[in-house]
Amino acid sequence: MTIPPHWARWGDPDLAQPLPDSARGLVDAAFGPLADHLSVGLDAVRLPEPALPPETLDGLRALVGAEHVHLDHETRVRHTRGKSTPDLLRMRAGDGSDAPDVVVRPAGHDQVAAVVEWCGRHRVALVPFGGGTSVVGGLAARRDGYAGVLALDLSRLDRLVALDAESGTAVLEAGVLGPRAESLLGEHGFTLGHFPQSFEYASIGGFAATRSSGQSSSGYGRFDSLVLGLKVATPIGTWQLGHAPASAAGPDLRQLVLGSEGAFGVITEVTLRVRPVPPVRVYEGWRFGSFAAGAAAVRDLVQAGVTPTVLRLSDEIETAVNLSSPSAVGGGEGGGGCVLITGYEGEPDGVEALRAATGARLAALGADPLGEGPGTAWERGRFAGPYLRDSLLDVGVLVETLETATFWSQLLSLYERVRTAVVRALAGQGAPSLVLGHISHVYPTGASLYFTVVAKELADPLAEWTVAKTAASEAIAAAGATITHHHGVGRDHQPWLAQEIGPVGVEVLRAVKQRIDPSGVLNPGILVP
C-alpha cells in the first residue's frame, strides 16, 4: 500500500533524510555557506476561510455520503497545489492560499458525474485530484468569480474494471496509483510498463490528463500511445471514447481529453494496452566523450530501429554531479564524458539479440562499455531524486526541473540556448547555479531535453525561479520547440501555449471549453489561454 505523501515534501515521510555530509560539503563549495531553511508545521499553514455555506454542502453529502465530504484543516492542506518547487516553497512557508474550500471523495463514475453537475449548478470551481503530483501549477484553480473551490479526490476510484487478456487491454479507474496498477495487472501477468519519476504517487487519470511519459518510453511508448479508450464525466453528460483498436470515424476525439488537465471533463476510466510482464530486465551503461557524440549515437539507434526499452543520455554535468542518482555513473570507470543508460525488457532471446545489436552499434560509434553496474544503479535509484530535492531545499539550495522537445536537427542548439538562458538569468540575480541535462524520451525525428537547475536560494526564491523559468521558456518558444513534452501546461506554461498552437488553436480550445463546460467550472485558469 502506498503511504500518503508528505504535505510539503515529496513522497513517503519516512524516507526524508538530511543532506549527507559529503554532499553538503560539495554544495557548500559550489554555493557558499549553507543555512537551514526549515518548513513550518502543518498546523501553521494559513488557509482561507471556507467560502461554501453549510446548507450548500448538504447537497454534496447527499451525493457521496457525509463521511466523504471533508472540511478539516489537514485534508484541505493535503489537497493544496502539487509538487513543483514553487508549490513546495509556498507550503513550507505556510502559504495555503490556494486551498480548496472542500474535498470530496466520490466512488465511481456516477458519483463523479453527480458532483460535476452539482458544481455547475452552484458555480463551484472543480479541481480533479489524482495523486497530487502536478509540477506545472495544474491544481490551483482560479477562484475569482466562483462561489468556492472543490477538490475532487479520485482515490476511491481504484479498481481494475476489466481485463481482456486475448486483446491485451485493461480498463482501470482513474484514481488507481502507479504501484497499484502494476499490482492489479501483475496478478494476471500483465504490465503497463509506464514508470515516470512520479510513478509511486501519480494516478492513471493523471497520466492521461497530462500526457505523461515514463522512463521506459523508448520501448513502451508515452502514456497517450497506450490509451485506447476513455470515460469522462462532463457538465453536459458522459463522454465515452474508444470503440476499436483504430478508427477512421472522424478526428480522434480522445486527443481532446489526453492532455486536457481536467479542463474538459473528469476522466473516470481509462482503457489501456497492456503487455505480459517481461521475464528479463537488464540495464547497462556506456560512456561517450561528449553530449553531442552521445546524442548522435542515440539518434542513430532510434532511426535504425534498434531501440532498447530505456535510452537515457546524461550530459557532462549530470554525469559528473548526478543529483538524481548519485551512484549511477558507476565506480568511476574512465571518468568524464557522458553516460548513456540502456535498458532491455522482454523474452530472453529477444533481449539478448537487441542488446547485442545495440552494443555493436554503440561500440562502432565510439562508446565505451561500462557494464551493468551503472544501469543497475540507475534502475535502483530512479525514484530517489525528489527526496534529494527536499534535502537541498532544507539547506537553502533551490532545485527545480524543466523539459521540452524538438527535432534532432535543432536539439543541440536548443540545449545550449536553454542552458545559457537559465544560467544568465540566475547570475543576473547574483545566484550561482548548475544546470544538468539529459535525453530520456526519443523518437525517429527528435527527442526530449530535460534540465535540472540547482542554484543558491536568494531571499525571494519564488521570484528567483520565476525569472529563470521565464528565461528558459522564452528560449524554448523562440527556438520553435514545445513548451512541455510531458509535464503538462497547467498555469506555469499557459503564457506560451498560445504561441505554440497559434490563434486558430486557441479558438478551438476555447470553443470546446465553452461548449462542454458552459459554466466554466472545470479547473478554471488551467490550460486554456
Identify the band that residue 335 occupies on the pLDDT scale cut at 50, 70 and 90.
low
Q: How far is CA 132 from the centre of its chain?
A: 10
State how far the Cα of 31 lies from the Cα of 434, in Å rounded to an integer: 10
Q: Grade residue 330 by pLDDT with cuts at 50, 70 and 90.
A: very low
- CA 302/CA 448 separation, integer angstroms: 13
Q: What pLDDT digit, counting tens, does each position of 247-295 carry?
A: 999 999 999 999 999 999 999 999 999 999 999 999 999 999 999 999 9
Please report the domains of the chain, with CATH numbers, ordered by start residue.
Answer: 42-153 (3.30.43.10), 160-276 (3.30.465.10), 280-382 (3.30.70.3450)
Single-letter amino acid code for the residue at 492: D
Q: Is the pLDDT of residue 68 over 50?
A: yes
pLDDT > 80? residue 322: no
Which residue, among 432, 412, 413, has the nearest Cα to 422 in the 3D structure? 432
In what helix (H) or strand (E) does residue 287 lie, and over which residues does it extend? strand 280-288
Residue 324 has pLDDT above 50, yes or no: no
What's the mean pLDDT in 66-72? Answer: 97
Average pLDDT over residues 30-52: 91
Q: What integer pLDDT is reported at residue 2 of this predicted model?
A: 61
pLDDT(28) > 60: yes
Max Cα–Cα distance, the chain, nearest Å: 72
What letter would DSSP give residue 68? G
CA pseudo-torsion sign 317, 30, 86, 394: positive
Q: How far apart are CA 351 and CA 308, in angstroms?
A: 9
Please state the rounded mean pLDDT for residues 359-367.
97
pLDDT for the residue numbered 384: 87
Position 500 confidence tier, pLDDT thresholds 50, 70, 90: very high
Would the pLDDT of 329 be above 70? no
pLDDT of 38: 85
DSSP three-state, residue 132: coil
pLDDT, tens digit (0-9, with 9 covering 90-100), for 196-217: 999 999 999 999 999 999 999 9
Three-state DSSP class for residue 340 = strand
Residue 247 makes CB contacts below 8 A (sequence gap 6+) with none
Paired strand residues for 282: 344
Nearest to 191 by CA among 261, 269, 109, 281: 281
Rg of the Cα atoms in the chain:
23
92-122 pLDDT tens trace: 999 999 999 999 999 999 999 999 999 999 9
Instruction: Note the pLDDT tens digit of each residue in 214-245.
Output: 999 999 999 999 999 999 999 999 999 999 99
| Span 351-361, average pLDDT | 97
Distance from C-alpha of 521 to C-alpha of 305, rounded to nearest angstrom: 45
Compute the Cα dihedral for 310, 203, 381, 21 and give only its sign: positive
Residue 183 has pLDDT above 70, yes or no: yes
> For the chain, what is the mean pLDDT?
94
pTM value is: 0.95
| pLDDT grade for 438, boundaries at 50, 70 and 90 | very high
Sequence-ordered strand ranges (E) for 88-189: 102-104, 124-129, 148-153, 160-164, 169-173
Question: Can you tell me whether residue 471 is helix, strand or coil?
Answer: helix
More confident residue, 54 or 463: 463
Reported in sequence order, the residue ranges of 432-488 that DSSP labels E, i.e. its strands, are 433-439, 446-456
Closest CA to 489 of 127, 3, 137, 59: 137
